[in-house]
Amino acid sequence: MALINHRAREIHFKVVYYGPGLGGKTTNLKCLFERLPAERRGRLISIATDNERTLFFDFLPIDVGLVNGMMTRFHLYTVPGQIYYQRSRRAVLQGVDAVVFVADSHPARERANLESLADLRANLATIGIDEDAIARLPWMIQYNKRDLTLAMPLERMRAALNPNGAPDFEAVATSGKGVNETLKSACKAVLARLAAPDLRPRVAPAHVPVTPSEARQV
């Protein structure tokens, strides 16, 4: 849920990148961080897990302008893909305003994609987001690793992962292809939903705390 920081005159939004382990979530965030002007982004924070890192940072969009007289600040998060990090994934999903599901195009990861998508829905339900709310939540699908020789056909992935026709994008996150387009779509969807009658931003403290003991700047 969006947060209002009256002291800083900012509205804060949270976008979570979800998907199977090693599917490209971290690569997406690192690519975005490197492309954003330094003066418009915060620190890139990393929480180490066994096989991949959970990353997060915030930024001020360049082309959005003021919303109700306030600047907009987006907080981007990845979640660890391994199944045994359930508690961490649920914690990151708290207060989410949009989800980007990053699917792996390798045929060997087809089942992992489906399991991760089911896990996402289950975790949203666990934190109190029911099916109706999930249907209203801005939701993007990114088909990553499209440069693989054995990449699954797009229509096959779309039928399995996006039957409801959410905005979707082909991507090669290692080269940056499709990365900006996915984020822009998520941000636009979040801002469009801000006018919805069921969305009432909460008042935030002057500083949105992110203080996990194991966090470090990268």
The residue count for the chain: 218
Residue 51 tokens read as: 């096989």
Within a domain: 54: yes
Tell the residue number behind the tokens 């082309």, with chain if given: 63
SS3 14: strand
Which secondary-structure segment (H or E) carries 111?
helix 110-126
SS3 54: strand
Task: Tell me the pTM.
Answer: 0.88
Res. 184: pLDDT tops 80: yes
Q: What is the pLDDT of residue 214?
A: 38
Q: What is the pLDDT of residue 80?
A: 80
* CA-to-CA dists, residue 174 to 23, 97, 144, 193, angstroms: 11, 26, 9, 30
Within a domain: 210: no
Asked if residue 102 lies in contact with residue 23, where contact means CB atoms within 8 angstroms, the answer is: yes
Which secondary-structure segment (H or E) carries 191?
helix 179-193
- Write down the mean pLDDT value for the chain: 87
Q: Please state the domain count of the chain.
A: 1
Within a domain: 217: no
Share of the chain above pLDDT 70, in %: 84
**Torsion 73-79-85-86 (CA) sign:** positive
Amino acid of residue 208: V
Amino acid of residue 167: P
Which secondary-structure segment (H or E) carries 202?
strand 202-203
**Rounded-to-integer distance, Cα 56 and Cα 33, Å:** 10
Within a domain: 209: no
Within a domain: 212: no
Domain carrying residue 74: 9-195
Within a domain: 211: no
Q: What is the pLDDT of residue 86?
A: 81
Higher pLDDT, 173 or 193: 173
Q: What is the CATH number of the domain that holds 70?
A: 3.40.50.300
The per-residue pLDDT for range 89-124, each reduced to its tens digit, is 899 999 999 999 999 999 999 999 999 999 999 999
Q: Average of pLDDT values for 44-56?
A: 77
Q: What is the pLDDT of residue 66?
A: 79
Within a domain: 18: yes
The per-residue pLDDT for range 118-147, each reduced to its tens digit, is 999 999 999 999 999 999 999 999 999 999
Res. 172: pLDDT tops 90: yes
Within a domain: 70: yes
